[in-house]
Structure 1
Amino acid sequence: MSSKQLLRFDLFSKTVEDSKIKTTSGGLITISCIVSVLLLLLNEFREYSKVVTLPELVIDRDSSSTMELHFDISFPNLPCDLITLDIMDISGDLQTDIMKSGFVQMRLDKEGEVLGKEQLTMNLDLDELSRTQDPNVCGSCYGALSQEDNDNKPVEERVCCNTCEAVRQAYAHTAWAFYDGANIEQCENEGYVARINERLNEGCRVIGNAEINRIAGNLHFSPGASLTQPDKHVHDLSLYDKHRDLFNFDHIINHFSFGGDLVSQAPLDGKTTHVGNKYHLFSYFVKVIGTRSESLDGRVVESNQYSSTYHDRPLKGGRDDDHPNTIHARGGIPGLFFHFDISPLKIINREQYAKTWSSFLLGACSAAGGVLTIGAVLDRTIWTADRIIRSKKDL
C-alpha cells in the first residue's frame, strides 16, 4: 500500500503551523481542561482503588452443622437460684437445665449493682447424683425415687440422694413441688434453704454460650426445675407461686447473637421490657441466616445474622387492654422464650475492587477525551462568536 493510499485513512488531519492562532480564551479553556482532566483522573483512581462488598445469596449447605449462641441477659426481679434454661428443637433434641453447664451468673440488687458472681459447673445426671460409693451413706429421696431393697444391692446400684441437688432433681423427675427445700435434711445442712430465702429479692444477670443445631427450635428461661415427658414439658413453679408479691420476667437483653455476628451491636442488644406482671410470657421470634465474608486477603469469616419479632401476653389470656379486639391465648408458663428459625439460604459477602485495570484505563481515556472534545467545541464557539462581533464592529 502506497503512502498516498494511507493518507485516505488519516483521521488526524494536520493544521499548517503558520495558520494557528493563539487566543486568551483558548488559554483559559486549556487550563480549565487540564484541571478537569486531572480531577477526573484522580476520581477514576479512587474508584479503582475502592474496595466494595458484593452480596450473593446461595443455598446453605452447612445446615447439618451446629452454631453457637451468645447471650447476656439481666432479670432485675428474679433470683439466680430460681432460673432454669432449656433448649428444644424440632428434631427432638432437648438440653435441660443447662444453666449449670459453665454459665456465669451475677447476683444483682434492686439498683442493678452486682452483689456476687458464680461460675456454675456441669450438672450431673440423676443417676450420678443419686448414687454413692460410700456404703455407709445413703441419703433419703423422701419417696421421690424408690429405695426399696437398697441394702441387698451392690453399692454402685443403690438409689441414694446425698445432696440437695439430688433431692431436687428427684422431685423434678417425679413432678413433685420442691418449693425452697425446707425440711429436707440435705438442703438444710448445705444451707440451701437459708440461701434461697435470703436472695428472694435479688435479680440475676446470666452470661454464657450454648451450642444449638441449625434447625428450628426454642430457648427459654423459666422458673424451677423442668420435667419432660413425651407429650409435655413443664416446670416446677412451686417456689415461684409461693411468693405472690415477688418475681417477674421483666428483662434487659445486653447481648444476643448467633455464632459471631459481624456487627458490633446485634438487633436485640439493649432491648428492655418493664411489664411488671408476674404471670406473663415474653416471646421473641428470631429468623437466622448464615453469612460468610470473604476478604481480599483470602480471610473467610463464618457468622450469622438475624431479625426478630417481639410479642408478649398475660397467661390469663383474654382481651388486650390496649387493643380490645385482640384476644390473647390462655395458659402456658411464665418465662422468656426465644423461638428461632434457620433460613435454608446463606449470604456470601465478597470483597473486591470496584473497577478492574481495564475499566480504569477506559474510564481515564473517556474522561480525558470527553473534556478535550468539549473544550475544543467551546473554544471554536467562542472564536467564531468573537469573529462575528468584530466584523460587525468594523462595519
Structure 2
Amino acid sequence: MSGQRPKLLTFDAFAKTVEDARIRTTSGGIITLFCIFVVMFLIRNEYSDYTSVITRPELVVDRDINKPLDIYLDVSFHNLPCDLLSLDIMDEAGDLQLDILKSGFEKFRIVKDSEEEIIDRESTPINADLSIEEMAKGLKEGEDGECGSCYGALPQDKKQYCCNDCETVKLAYAEKLWGFYDGENIEQCENEGYVQRVQSRINGKEGCRIKGNARINRISGTMDFAPGASFTSSGHHVHDLSLYDKHPHLNFDHIVNKLTFGPIPDESVPTAESTHPLDNYGVALNDKNHVFTYYLKVVATRFEFLNGASKALDANQFSVITHDRPISGGKDNDHQHTLHAKGGIPGVVFHFDISPLKIINREQYAKSWSGFVLGVVSSVAGVLIVGSLLDRSVYAAESAIKGKKNM
C-alpha cells in the first residue's frame, strides 16, 4: 500500500495549503461578502424557477376529428331587422343546414332608443326541412277543405297545391324565384299580421342580435348571414333579396360579440384568452352592397393543469383574417392597386378551416429537483471561482503598488 501512495498523490485535485501561508486582506473580506450576497441571490432565483409553473405546448394528431364541433355565436346587426336575416351553414362534405335560426339560435330585436333587447319568436323563416309538396299539400279529388291561393306560383286548377299560410306562399314564391318583398296584398300574410310587423320594424329601423349554438362536422365549411329567406332551387343556394334591395338604409354593419368553437372556455384561465380573437370586433361602413368575410383557422386545444383537482379544459383556438369588398367590384378605396371581384350577395361570411392537429398545453414545474440542485451547485462554484480570481488580481495589484513605494 505504501508504494501506491505517491501515485495517488498525483491525482489529488484538492491540494491543501499550509495555514501559516495564508494572508488575510481587507479587500479579500469585501470580495467574500460580495460573493455571499451574489450566491444567496442566485440560490433564490434557482428556487423561484424550481417552484414556478410553466405551460409547455405539444402538437399531436387530433383523435377527435370525427366528433361534431359546437359553434357558439353572438353577433349584432344594428341596421337589419330579424325578419330579413337568415343564417346558413354548409361544410365541404356537402351537408347544408338552412335557416338554423329556427332551432339552435335565438333572435333578439334591437329597438332604437331602447336598451332592452326583445326576444323575437315571431320571425320564422322558410321551413327548409319540408318540401313544397309537404308545405302546399293539395286536396284530393272530391275532398272538401280550405285551399288558399298561391297567387300563380303553383298550379291550382285541380287544387293539387294549396297555400293556406304566409310561409307556404313564401316558399312557393321561392320555388318560382319570385321576389316576395313584405307580402303586401297577399291575404294570408295580411291576416297573420306579417305585413304590418315587417313594415313597422323596417320603418322603425330596428336591428337584430343573434346568439346560440350550432353543431357541425369537424371539417372545413362556411357560415354566412345573408338578407332574405334562403332556399335551394335547381341545386343552387339562393336568397330572396327583394325586400332588402327595396329599403336603402338596410346594411350589414355588425359587431361580433363572441364567437367560439367547441365548449366555451373558462374565463378564469389566462391561457384561454387567445381563443377569442373576434370578441367585440365590429365594422360600420354604412354600405348597403357590401360583403364582409372572415377566414378562420381553427385548431383544437387542450389545457392540462398541474393541480389534479382541476379538470382538463378542451377548447379551440383560431386565427382570423378579415376581408371586405363591395359586390359591385372595382378598385379598393384604400388600396388603389387592389381590384375586387364583382358579384355575390351582401352579407357576412365566416370561412372556417379545421386543422387535423391538436395542441396540448401541459402545466409543469420549470425545473426538476435534480435541476435545482445542479443549478445551486453551479451558482456557488461559479461565484467562488470568479471571487478567487478577483481576489488574486486585487492582491497582486496591491503587492505591486507596495513594491514601487518601497523602492
More deviation, 86-95/312-321? 312-321
Q: How does 1:52-67 map to 2 (within 5 A)?
A: 52-67=54-69
CA distance in 1, matches of 2:38, 2:372: 17
Aligned to 1:4: 5
Pair 1:238 & 2:246 matched: no
CA distance in 2, matches of 1:27, 1:137: 112
Aligned to 1:334: 346
Aligned to 2:321: 309
CA distance in 2, matches of 1:24, 1:69: 73
Aligned to 1:368: 380
* CA distances 1:324-372 after superposition (whole Å, capped 9, x unpaired): 5443322221211111222233322222222222111111101001111
Q: Which runs of 5+ in 2 are unaligned?
A: 266-271
Identical counterparts, % of pairs: 53
Contact 1:317 1:330 in 2 (8 A): yes
Aligned to 1:154: none
Aligned to 2:258: 255
Distance change >3 Å, CA 13–CA 317, structure 1 → 2: closer
* CA distances 1:287-307 after superposition (whole Å, capped 9, x unpaired): 222222222235432222222
Q: How does 1:1-395 map to 2 (within 5 A)?
A: 1-2=1-2, 4-5=5-6, 6-110=8-112, 113-118=115-120, 125-126=129-130, 138=146, 140=148, 142=150, 144=153, 161-200=163-202, 201-229=205-233, 231-243=235-247, 245-259=248-262, 260=264, 262-263=272-273, 266-297=276-307, 299-395=311-407
Query: What is the one-letter code of the residue matched to 2:85?
Result: I
Contact 1:294 1:300 in 2 (8 A): yes
Contact 1:291 1:348 in 2 (8 A): yes
Contact 2:56 2:363 in 1 (8 A): yes
SS of the equivalent of 1:171 reads helix
Contact 1:181 1:192 in 2 (8 A): yes
What do you get for the CA RMSD once the two structures are aligned?
3.0
What TM-score does the superposition give when structure 2 sets the normalisation length?
A: 0.83
How many residues of Structure 1 are paired with residues of Structure 2 in the alignment? Answer: 385
What TM-score does the superposition give when structure 1 sets the normalisation length?
A: 0.86
More deviation, 89-98/189-198? 189-198
* CA distances 1:101-156 after superposition (whole Å, capped 9, x unpaired): 14232222346844522368998633676579xx9864526255567777xxxxxx
Distance change >3 Å, CA 336–CA 112, structure 1 → 2: farther
Shift of 1:25: 1.9
Contact 1:100 1:120 in 2 (8 A): no
Shift of 1:79: 0.4
Shift of 1:284: 1.6
Shift of 1:204: 1.2
CA distance in 2, matches of 1:393, 1:171: 114
Distance change >3 Å, CA 381–CA 203, structure 1 → 2: same
Shift of 1:214: 1.8
Distance change >3 Å, CA 120–CA 36, structure 1 → 2: farther
CA distance in 2, matches of 1:147, 1:377: 107
Distance change >3 Å, CA 14–CA 122, structure 1 → 2: farther
SS of the equivalent of 2:33 reads helix
CA distance in 1, matches of 2:88, 2:146: 30
More deviation, 330-339/380-389? 380-389
Distance change >3 Å, CA 131–CA 42, structure 1 → 2: farther
Q: Which runs of 5+ in 1 are unaligned?
A: 151-157
CA distance in 2, matches of 1:252, 1:140: 41
CA distance in 2, matches of 1:364, 1:138: 92
Contact 2:163 2:169 in 1 (8 A): yes
SS of the equivalent of 1:330 reads coil
More deviation, 198-207/159-168? 159-168
Aligned to 2:269: none
Aligned to 2:268: none
Query: What is the one-letter code of the residue matched to 1:192?
Result: Y
* CA distances 1:151-200 after superposition (whole Å, capped 9, x unpaired): xxxxxxx9765543344334334533322222333322332211111100
SS of the equivalent of 2:184 reads coil
Query: What is the one-letter code of the residue matched to 1:385?
Result: A
Shift of 1:77: 0.9
Distance change >3 Å, CA 102–CA 88, structure 1 → 2: closer
Query: What is the one-letter code of the residue matched to 1:4?
Result: R
